[in-house]
Structure formats: structure tokens, C-alpha cells
Structure 1
Amino acid sequence: MREHSFEVSAPAKWGEGLVSVAEGEPVAVEVRLESVHEGILVTAEIDSRYTGVCGRCLRDIAEPLQVEFQELFAYPGEEATDFEVQDDHVDLETPVRDAIVLSLPFQPVCQPDCPGLDPVTGERLTANTVSEQREPLDPRWAALQDYTPDHDD
């Protein structure tokens, strides 16, 4: 068993949604390599940061990202495997990229209770913003606007 810690820069933008890990963003990797009968078992912890925009209010966000994964790199043989040991080395770029991209939030928010944007004005709503604007009334229902249950005529 061997353990290594290193930091590299993301070689390209990882992620295509509202948030992604930017090219050149530092990616810290702590990896444990264990020899097993079938190949090399890789266990890794990854620390980085993603940037993008909030899915509700479109405010810029940057959050830390922590991911763990475990993958078996098999010795070359007759069976097809996802990852293979090549010349006694393992290439971690693909499993690291896959783990990071799959852990990115699909609908990121700047805060858990982000109120989003006002649908009429497009302005950011805040916790103390009171939005009591009435929806435009359909002219076909305008006659019922003055109706009350105790109305006798």
C-alpha cells in the first residue's frame, strides 16, 4: 500500500451546467494505492472549488467541493475493464474528472432559502421584500371581481 498527496491544476473546464470547475483551478488529491490480486485498488479524496451562478437568482457563487471515490485498475488481460494498469502506472485523470462532474449540483443555489427573482420585474427578491403585486386580471372574469358571498342581488 502507498499513500500520496498532490495538487494539480484542472487541465480543462469540468462540468457544463450552471456550475463547473474552471480550467486551472487547483485540485488537491489524497490517494491510497493498494495492491490486490486483480490489479490496483485506488481510493481517493479530492478537494477543489466550483464556480458558476445560482439557479434561482443568477448571483455568482463559488463553493468548495469534496469528493471521494474508489476504483479498481485491473491488470491487462483478456477481460475488458474500465481502467487498466499501464506500465505499472495508473492514470487518475478520468476517474477524478468523472467523480467531480458527477458531484456538481444540478440546481445550485447561493443559499438554501434563496427567494430567486421577481417574475414581474426581474429584480432579486430578498427576505424582507414584500411582493404583493396582483396578477393581471383576465377581462372575462372581471365581472366576478366585486362578487361577495353575502351579496344578495
Structure 2
Amino acid sequence: MADSERIRPPWWLKPMNKIFMAAMRLGLTSFGGESPIVLTVPGRTSGKPRSTPITPFTVDGKRYVVGGFPGADWVRNARAAGVVTLTTGRRSEAVRIVELPAEEARPLLRAFPVLVPTGVSFMKNAGLVTEGKPEEFEALAGRCAVFRFDPLSNGVHNP
């Protein structure tokens, strides 16, 4: 994706993500009925762990996440790493992260506003959709990354 296509997140997103992650560490795991988790991935150049809250969703027994901003750092880091750590409370799980081609992403993006309603206002605020209708989300295929989480053998570890 060219830098000109990259949508910059709002200034408040990083501070808000830090607040969400702190609340999640304290055991507050539900925001608006959905359960966000923390995705941690090594930085592309620094190699340092980078964490961001995400809200995955499940379709046909498989877990997915939509990258809310085209070209977001966590998306680019995940593409480079191929493996990420998902953390809920004290439970961490290493998983393979697989980006889906646009054709496979379309039906998942169409289901997104129903499965992750808090994501609708986020995407509206980002200027990616206007009304939040399923067809608007489906049209983001190829622009917003959709990832599937695949288990690794023996990927669960508890600190």
C-alpha cells in the first residue's frame, strides 16, 4: 500500500489504546459487550514488542481480526512477523497470523458490523465508512487487512 493511501489514525488513538490495555490488565475485559484482547508483535525494525488492543471475531470456528486503518503499524508488523501473541488477562497464546486475499475477506468484512458493532463507530470516525452498512465494509476488501489466527502447536503459555 502506498503511503498516500495510508489513513493516519486520530491523535487520541495511541493514548486510548494504552488506557484500554491497562484496564484489560486490571481484569476489565468487556467494552460494549465485546471482548478486546491484546495483540503483541515484534516491531519490523526495532524487534521490540509492540502491543495494541484488537477485537477479534469468530466465523465458522475460526478467529479473525480486521485492521482498522490501512497501513497501520501493527498490520505492517504482523505481515512481517507472521506470528503474534494474543493475550487475554493472564493467558497468552502464540498464533500464526494469515492475511486473507480480498475475495476471502469480503464476506468477513460484510459480517464485521454485526459481529463487532463497536468497530462500526471506529470505522466511521476513521472515514472508512459513512453509514456502517455491510456493503460498505465489504467494499473495503483489498484496502483494510483481514487476518485469520491459526493455532501453533503448543502455542499456549501462561506467565
TM-score range, shorter chain: under 0.3
Superposition TM-score, scaled by structure 1 size? 0.25
Higher RCO by CA contacts (8 Å cutoff, separation 6 or greater): 2
Which structure's CA Rg is the greater one?
1
